[in-house]
């Protein structure tokens, strides 16, 4: 498989490339080796944090806001359209404070708790195991449960697995039946703790490895498909954590996680919509920096697991800004601009290159928190630019990856590293190719000449496209206003003897369909 060619041209900070950039992109469709882009790359993360759950996914059956048995209808419909493949819950840091018995049984009898991780908000536990797993069934997505290692016990975790997945006549399984669910749920993904190096217990990797080994003994398989057990992995560049877990846990885990955020210098980066040119490229550079970070983690994994039996999961990623003025600092509510959409597109293009090892990625978070798909306010809802990127990229789910070859001058903007002048990812499914192209430049257009192995022999090629861009990279969709950013039909392309010429506006994302 040929790799993307990058010309390593040293540019000064804030340097300018030509006003109109041009790049030839060749798709090696004949070199596709059957590697499938798992739909779980487009996973979502839902935590008891701010209004992600209460007011976002869940309003309760007695709410004046239209709902389906308590699930907020406008949010549900939007997620249904998105075809989300997997949903992670209940955290995040909240997971290691969560005791599942608090969230079952009659709602009026469930204990109220203080969310000590996120703003001290009081929660009534009306959204618990049944509510989450039933929602996943309605959305036709896989649930991903994060188990409590930090403040819980192996017995508590074992009984939770039994409660959810056992079809026996045990006391625990009968408790589920008494609470209204006869058959077990199909729970595949199960995390043994979260961020064990921090809010999940402040552990050393050696200690956590032993804890993982002990807890997994008691998280037994009650279904035909065994539990897919996920180890709490590193934050960003903590390669020693990955090395230790691979050495001490090895094949006892199905996967190990990594967390990576862009824009985490919250005091310096400002709010989501407040940034200058440096702030724009600085965050895109940090987002692109996930590629060398993941490559280093995968290199470590390859040394201990050359057959790739252990998967890598990016189960938290996205942008992280200072909260919107006037909101609770512990609720992490932020707006979502065209810059966030660029981060999403660049990140997804990277993930799709490495799916021989990376099998899942869950953006943080699905509603009202960090880089959300959806924002709500009372009975109002808006779809963010990031939502539209995920909607446009749905075509890559479970498709065959096609290598792309092109040259790209790096834009060296910040200490975070380089921003490429172009990012391309391609796939094929049922004989149809889809190509996602990103022009990150905020002030330069980019002409792309696209061809593929069978281009010259193809007679009746039909190419259509959709584009997402904005008049200003600071633009966002706000409550009570017409959307400023939404996908539109893309028409600025034409065929010539060399390929399909695609004219990309500045700061734009285009997805082409080629039949």
**Cβ contact 511:466 at 8 Å:** yes
Instruction: With CA atoms as reference, report the closest residue to 355 among 303, 396, 389.
Output: 396
Q: Could you report the per-residue pLDDT of 278-307, keeping only the tens digit for each?
A: 889 989 999 999 999 999 999 999 999 999
Residue 2 pLDDT greater than 90, yes or no: no
Higher-scoring residue by pLDDT: 476, 457: 476
221 backbone dihedrals φ, ψ, rounded to 5°: -95, 120
Q: What is d(CA 268, CA 444) in angstroms, rounded to the nearest whole number?
A: 26
Q: What is d(CA 105, CA 178) in angstroms, rounded to the nearest whole number?
A: 8
**Cβ contact 37:315 at 8 Å:** no
Half-sphere exposure of 141 (CA within 13 A, CB side): 27
Measured CA to CA in angstroms, residue 234 lies from 196, 197, 237, 317 at distances of 9, 8, 7, 12
Residue 144 pLDDT greater than 80, yes or no: yes
Domain 5-35+402-514 fold is: Immunoglobulin-like (2.60.40)
Helix 205-218 × helix 239-248 angle, to 10°:
40
Say whether domain 38-397 belongs to CATH 3.60.15.10.
no
Give pLDDT, residue 53.
Answer: 98
**Cβ contact 52:46 at 8 Å:** yes
pLDDT band at residue 265, thresholds of 50, 70 and 90?
A: low
Looking at residues 380-396, what average pLDDT do you find?
98
- What is the full DSSP assignment across 180-228? T--SPP---EEEE-S-TTTTTT---HHHHHHHHHHHHHHS---SSSPPE
Looking at residues 237-248, what average pLDDT do you find?
98
How far is residue 25 CA from its own chain's centroid? 27
Helix 154-165 × helix 129-139 angle, to 10°:
40
Residue 353 pLDDT greater than 50, yes or no: yes
Q: What is d(CA 112, CA 129) in angstroms, rounded to the nearest whole number?
A: 16
Looking at residues 112-137, what average pLDDT do you find?
95
Provide the percentage of residues in the chain whose pLDDT is more than 90.
88
Looking at residues 254-275, what average pLDDT do you find?
81
Higher-scoring residue by pLDDT: 512, 411: 512
CB proximity list for 177: less than 8 A, separation 6 or greater: none
Instruction: With CA atoms as reference, report the closest residue to 123 among 142, 102, 152, 144.
Output: 102
Q: Could you report the per-residue pLDDT of 411-470, keeping only the tens digit for each?
A: 766 667 789 999 999 999 999 999 999 999 999 999 999 999 988 887 788 999 999 999
CB proximity list for 291: less than 8 A, separation 6 or greater: 350, 353
Looking at residues 225-247, what average pLDDT do you find?
97
Give pLDDT, residue 105.
Answer: 97
Q: What is d(CA 435, CA 500) in angstroms, rounded to the nearest whole number?
A: 12
pLDDT band at residue 21, thresholds of 50, 70 and 90?
A: confident
Q: What is d(CA 231, CA 121) in angstroms, rounded to the nearest whole number?
A: 28
Q: Which of 32-41, 110-119, 409-418 has the least mean pLDDT?
A: 409-418
pLDDT band at residue 17, thresholds of 50, 70 and 90?
A: very low
Return the number of other C-beta atoms located less than 10 Å from residue 217's C-beta: 10
pLDDT band at residue 360, thresholds of 50, 70 and 90?
A: very high
378 backbone dihedrals φ, ψ, rounded to 5°: 60, -125
Decide: helix, strand or coil at residue 152: coil
Q: Could you report the per-residue pLDDT of 303-335, keeping only the tens digit for each?
A: 999 999 999 999 999 999 999 999 999 999 999
**Cβ contact 387:373 at 8 Å:** yes
Give pLDDT, residue 459.
Answer: 79
Domain boundaries defined on the chain: 5-35+402-514, 38-397
Higher-scoring residue by pLDDT: 11, 441: 441
For residue 34, count CB atoms less than 10 angstroms from its CB and return exposed for 0-12, middle for 13-18, buried for 19 or more: exposed
Q: Could you report the per-residue pLDDT of 62-85, keeping only the tens digit for each?
A: 999 999 999 999 999 999 999 999
Give pLDDT, residue 270.
Answer: 75
Give pLDDT, residue 4.
Answer: 36
Looking at residues 380-387, what average pLDDT do you find?
98
Catalytic positions: 195, 316
pLDDT band at residue 194, thresholds of 50, 70 and 90?
A: very high
């Amino acid at each position: 498989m040929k790799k993307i060619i990058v010309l390593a041209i040293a540019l000064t900070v804030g340097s300018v490339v030509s006003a109109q950039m041009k790049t030839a992109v060749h798709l090696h469709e004949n070199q596709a080796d059957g590697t499938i882009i798992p739909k779980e790359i487009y996973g979502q993360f839902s935590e008891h944090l701010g209004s992600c759950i209460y007011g976002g996914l869940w309003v309760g059956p007695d709410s004046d806001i239209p709902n389906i048995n308590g699930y907020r209808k406008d949010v549900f419909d939007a997620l249904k359209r998105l075809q989300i493949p997997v949903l992670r819950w209940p955290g995040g840091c909240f997971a290691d404070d969560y005791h599942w018995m608090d969230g079952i049984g009659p709602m009026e009898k469930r204990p109220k708790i203080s969310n000590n991780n996120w703003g001290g908000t009081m929660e009534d536990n009306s959204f618990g195991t049944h509510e989450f797993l039933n929602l996943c069934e309605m959305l036709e997505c896989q649930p991903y449960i994060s188990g409590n290692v930090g403040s819980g016990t192996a017995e508590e975790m074992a009984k939770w697995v039994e409660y959810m997945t056992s079809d026996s006549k045990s006391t625990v399984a009968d408790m589920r039946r008494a609470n209204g669910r006869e058959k077990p749920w199909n729970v595949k993904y199960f995390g043994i703790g979260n961020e064990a190096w921090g809010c999940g217990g402040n552990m050393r990797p050696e200690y956590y490895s032993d804890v993982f080994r002990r807890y997994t003994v008691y998280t037994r398989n009650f279904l035909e498909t065994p539990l897919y057990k996920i180890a709490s992995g590193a934050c960003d560049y903590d390669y020693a954590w990955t090395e230790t877990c691979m050495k001490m846990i090895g094949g006892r885990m199905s996967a190990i996680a990594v967390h990576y955020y862009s824009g985490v210098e919250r005091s310096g980066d400002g709010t989501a919509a407040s940034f200058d040119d440096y702030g724009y490229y600085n965050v895109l550079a940090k987002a692109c920096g996930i590629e060398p970070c993941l490559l280093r983690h995968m290199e470590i994994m390859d040394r201990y697991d050359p057959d790739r039996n252990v998967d890598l999961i990016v189960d938290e990623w996205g942008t992280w800004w200072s909260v919107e003025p006037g909101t609770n600092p512990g609720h992490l509510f932020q707006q979502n601009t065209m810059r966030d959409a660029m981060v999403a597109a660049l990140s997804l293009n990277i993930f799709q290159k490495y799916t021989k090892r990376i099998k899942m990625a869950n953006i943080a978070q699905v509603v009202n928190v960090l880089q959300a798909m959806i924002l709500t306010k009372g009975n109002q809802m808006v779809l963010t630019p990031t939502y539209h990127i995920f909607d446009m990229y749905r075509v890559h789910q479970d498709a065959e990856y096609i290598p792309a070859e092109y040259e790209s001058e790096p834009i060296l903007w910040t200490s975070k590293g380089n921003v490429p002048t172009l990012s391309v990812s391609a796939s094929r499914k049922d004989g149809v190719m889809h190509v996602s192209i990103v022009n990150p430049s905020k002030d330069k257009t980019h002409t792309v000449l696209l061809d593929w192995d069978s281009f010259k022999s193809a007679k009746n090629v039909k190419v259509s496209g959709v584009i997402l861009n904005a008049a200003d990279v600071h633009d966002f969709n706000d409550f009570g206003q017409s959307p400023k950013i939404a996908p539109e039909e893309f028409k600025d392309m034409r065929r010539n003897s060399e390929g399909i010429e695609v004219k990309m506006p500045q700061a734009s994302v285009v997805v082409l369909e080629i039949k």
